[in-house]
Amino acid sequence: MQNLGIIFRRELMGYFATPLAYIFIVIFLITNGIFTFDIGGFYLRGQADLLPFFSFHPWLYLFMVPAIAMTLWADERKTGTIELLLTLPIKLSEAVLGKFLAAWVLTGIALALTFPIWITVNYLGDPDNGVILAAYIGSWFMAGGLLAIGSCMSACTKNSVIAFILTVSICFTFVIMGSPILLNALPAWLPQFIVDAFAALGFLTHFDSISKGVLDIRDFLYFTVFIAAWLLASAIVIEIKKAN
Amino acid sequence: MIEISRLTKKFDQFAAVDDLSFKVAEGEVLGFLGPNGAGKSTTMKVITGFLSPSAGSVMVDGFDIVQNPIEAKTLIGYLPEGAPSYGDMTTLEFLNFIAEIRGYRGEEIATRVQHVIREVELESVAQQTIETLSKGFKRRVGLAQAIMHDPKVLILDEPTDGLDPNQKHHVRELIKNLAKDKIVIISTHILEEVTAVCTRAIIIDEGRIVIDGTPAELEEKSKYHHAVSVRLTQDYDLASDLQGVSGIGDVVKEGEENSFTILASNSDSIFAKVSEIAQRKQWPVTEFHVNRGQLEDVFRSVTSQSQGGE
């Protein structure tokens, strides 16, 4: 477990050693502002909640998170540091988890820095802060799910651009899985349980209920299992592909 | 003690390492030689636990690299090919990270890091990010990382590749100093390095050992072993003077003007005979010396079959 912490710190420090972390945070905050105030009609709605803010997060993450995740393992393979890292006396699981957590905490920091919007909504009205907190946590878990996909895709290739494109594609699939657009497009003869299973796998299904303040342990369980599964897949891919 | 027994590593159908067995004991500096693609790096990657073997086993001081990877890796310091390190960190940050992973805590970290920085002379670049360093410094950062925990086993994949002669000399001195009661395995294709630092050399080709012995033993296998090189002030027919003398083989004209190499036909020394004849016949000699044998020549002769077949 100590190694996990050491790797985590190194990775997080690595993000802040380059402009990457700062650019990510700034762009995240600006886009969030545009989405919430301009497109989301934050003021026009006349309601003191952060629904327009959170409802854009899946789409924002769709491009922001793969940008963070793409280098996770692809760069290690490209520069050969994977050989250094995996011949140190650490477990592969510590490396996979440490790297993932560092990236996840970075998205957490970016998310936490959106606090002025929370202050704004509290200044303007009297929102349900419990719902807002739940939505923040839900949003962070969703980012984690997308990051875990990104970790696995990044392990598949030496080329971080390919990792980015793969991650965006797969993340897009999971984000829209639960959306009505896709569910309506499914052929009518499909049995209901398959449609339900399909919807249950989608991010939106789970995130929507969390962001509306419905704190169901199953939604968090979904994201936790999702993250664990993709991280396990990352470890397997790294193990198989490290030779080439 | 490192024990490699019947090690095989296959990539798809291609066996990069093919049924390799050898042991390395404490105090030995093993030079690992072979043409490009012979399986040197693959073998090292398996010994250090980066790749898992297709068959066979690697025991590091009693720990199986597959069964007890953490214990085995704790004993090993490894410089991978090309000395990879995290380019966006400074030398100091990177070495601090390695020290922590190697189990140092608190003040030990700084003490240990300062020690290796002194050892490989990195003081001047301690605060610089690694990606801005020259090739020689990057290689030394890699070395510093490998010797951080004073490992019992040191595995260095081409440690002097790309260094200038001064740096090469420095790294070799360093390896020699470190080698006492350690196991050192160095891969290289610079043959002079073997005579300079190694106590033993293994030449592998196509994943198999073709020669295993001390550098001196390897030199004995050379056709230049005991050969006498002479350089004359003017052209002279050495061959006729030497004709019929037992133990003397061909006289080879070398590239340089009036330089000849007199080969020994068997492994006995011919120095005394040749020098006696040279005095008697009053050869116009300016240079006269005995060859110990050329590793390059041995290397070529034992690894040439595969090259010729391509």
Structure confidence by residue, pLDDT tens digits, B238-293: 777 777 777 777 887 777 777 888 887 777 777 777 888 888 878 888 888 887 77
Checking if the pLDDT of A211 tops 60, the result is yes
**Banded model confidence at residue A72, pLDDT cuts 50, 70, 90:** very high
B102 contacts on A by Cβ (under 8 Å) = 88-89
* Predicted TM-score (pTM) of this structure: 0.87
Task: Give tens-digit pLDDT for A137-168.
Answer: 989 999 999 999 999 999 999 899 999 999 99
A81 touches chain B (CB under 8 A): yes
What is the tens place of the pLDDT at every residue in B1-26?
Answer: 899 999 999 888 888 899 999 999 99
Reduce the secondary structure of A92-136 to three states and give it as a string.
Answer: HHHHHHHHHHHHHHHHHHHHHCCHHHHHHHHHHCCCCHHHHHHHH
Q: Write out the two tokens for A134.
A: 């739940």
Provide the edge-to-edge strand list for the sheet that holds B285-290.
B248-253, B259-264, B228-232, B285-290
| Mean pLDDT, chain A, whole residue set | 88
**Strand (E) or helix (H) holding A214:** none
- A15 neighbourhood in chain B, CB within 8 Å: none
Q: Which residues of B fall within a CB distance of 8 Å from A10? A: 86, 89, 97
| Inter-chain touch B51–A242, beta carbons under 8 Å | yes
Is A89's CB within 8 Å of B82's CB? no
The pLDDT, as a whole number, for residue A169 is: 93
Q: A78 touching B, CB under 8 A?
A: no
Whether A88 has its CB under 8 Å from any CB of chain B: the answer is yes
Q: What percent of chain A has pLDDT over 90?
A: 49
**Is A236 an 8 Å CB contact of chain B?**
no
**Residue B210 — pLDDT band, cuts 50, 70, 90?**
confident
Closest to A97 (Cα-Cα) out of A241, A239, A230: A230
Which structure tokens are listed for A109?
């920091």
Predicted confidence at residue B285, as pLDDT, reads: 83
Q: What is the DSSP string of B145-196?
A: HHHTT--SEEEEESTTTT--HHHHHHHHHHHHHHTTTSEEEEE-S-HHHHHH
Q: Please give the distance of CA A201 from its chain centroid, rounded to a whole number.
A: 15
Using a CB-CB cut-off of 8 Å, the residues of chain A touching B49 are: 86-87
Q: Is A18 on the interface with B (CB under 8 A)?
A: yes
Instruction: Return the pLDDT at A8.
Output: 96
Percent of chain B with pLDDT over 90: 41
Q: Which of A84, A93, A241 is the mutation pick for testing B, counting most B CBs within 10 A?
A: A84
| Mean pLDDT along residues B34-49 | 90
Q: Which residues of B touch A79 (CB under 8 A)?
A: 84, 87
Per-residue pLDDT for A6 more than 80? yes
User: Do A86 and B51 count as a contact with CB atoms less than 8 A apart?
Assistant: no
Please write the tens of the pLDDT for every residue from A14-40: 899 888 899 999 999 999 888 887 777
User: What residues of chain A lie within 8 A of the CB of B144, using their CB?
Assistant: none
State residue B310's pLDDT score: 35
The residue that leads in pLDDT, B301 or B143, is: B143
What integer is the mean pLDDT of B93-98? 95
pLDDT category at A9 given cuts 50, 70, 90 is very high
For residue A129, the model assigns a pLDDT of: 87
Smallest Cβ–Cβ distance between A83 and the set B73, B84, B86 belongs to B84
Give the chain A residue nearest B143 (alpha carbons).
A84
A100/chain B closest Cα distance in angstroms: 17
Whether pLDDT at B66 is above 80: yes
Give the pLDDT confidence score for residue B306 in this predicted structure.
Answer: 52
**A192 CB within 8 Å of a chain B CB:** no
pLDDT digits (tens, 9 = 90+) for A86-126: 999 999 999 999 999 999 999 999 999 999 988 988 888 88
> Residues B60-72: what's their mean pLDDT?
93
Q: CA geometry: angle at B191 spanning A78 and B304, to 5°?
A: 85
Residue of chain B whose alpha carbon sits nearest to that of A15: B88
CB contact under 8 A, B85 and A84: yes
What percent of chain A is modeled with pLDDT above 70?
98
Cα of B216 to nearest chain A Cα, Å: 33
Q: Hey, what are B150's tokens?
A: 């004073």
Retrieve residue B243's tokens: 């004709």
Count interface pairs A-B at CB distance under 8 A: 65
Residues of B in contact with A18 (CB under 8 A): 88
Mean pLDDT of chain B, nearest integer: 86
Q: What's the confidence (pLDDT) of residue B308? A: 43
Give yes or no for a contact between B262 and B222, defined as CB atoms under 8 angstroms apart: no
Residue B96: predicted pLDDT? 95
For residue B97, with 0-12 CB atoms within 10 Å meaning exposed, 13-18 middle and 19 or more buried, which class applies?
Answer: buried
Cβ-Cβ contacts under 8 Å, A244 against chain B: 11
pLDDT of residue A210: 82
Contact B30, B24 (CB under 8 A): yes
Angle formed by the axes of helices A2-17 and A20-33, to 10°? 70
**Tokens 């006696």, residue located:** B276
Q: Which residue has the higher pLDDT, B132 or B296?
A: B132
Of A176-185, A218-227, B121-130, which range is least confident? Answer: A176-185
- Residue B19 has phi, psi (to 5 degrees) of 55, 55
Q: Binning pLDDT at 50, 70 and 90, where does residue B305 land? A: low
Chain B residues lying within 8 Å of A80, measured CB to CB: 80-82, 84
State the angle between helix axes of B135-147 and B107-119 in degrees (0 to 180), rounded to the nearest 10. 130
Residue contact A18–B88, C-beta within 8 A: yes
Least confident of A192-196, B44-48, B201-205: A192-196
Q: Identify the band that residue A54 occupies on the pLDDT scale cut at 50, 70 and 90.
A: confident
Q: How is the beta sheet containing B14-24 ordered, strand by strand?
A: B14-24, B2-11, B55-60, B63-64
Q: What is the pLDDT at residue B13?
A: 84
Site from B42, B58, B88, B148 to mutate, A interface, most A CB atoms within 10 angstroms: B88
Nearest to A243 among B51, B88, B93 (CB): B51
DSSP A188: T
- State residue B309's pLDDT score: 38
Give the DSSP per-residue string, chain B.
-EEEEEEEEEETTEEEEEEEEEEE-TT-EEEEE-STTSSHHHHHHHHTTSS--SEEEEEETTEETTTSHHHHHHHEEEE-TT----TTSBHHHHHHHHHHHTT--THHHHHHHHHHHHHTT-GGGTTSBGGGS-HHHHHHHHHHHHHTT--SEEEEESTTTT--HHHHHHHHHHHHHHTTTSEEEEE-S-HHHHHHH-SEEEEEETTEEEEEE-HHHHHHTSTTTT-EEEEESS---HHHHHTT-TTEEEEEE-SSTTEEEEEESSSS--HHHHHHHHHHTT--EEEEEE----HHHHHHHHHHHHHHH-
What ipTM goes with this model?
Answer: 0.87
Residue of A nearest to B68 (CA): A89
Q: How far is B128 from chain A (nearest CA, A)?
A: 12
Residue pair B143/B159 in contact (Cβ under 8 Å)? The answer is yes
pLDDT for position B72: 94
Of A6, A17, A18, the CB nearest to B101: A6
Q: Please, what is the end-to-end C-alpha distance for chain A in angstroms?
A: 29
- Say yes or no: A92 contacts chain B, CB-CB below 8 A: no
3-state SS, residue A159: coil
Contacts of B53 in chain A (CB under 8 A): none
Residues of B in contact with A5 (CB under 8 A): none
Q: What is the DSSP letter of A191?
A: -
- Bigger pLDDT: B43 or B267? B43
User: Are A3 and B101 inside 8 Å of each other by CB?
Assistant: yes
State mean pLDDT over B214-228. 78
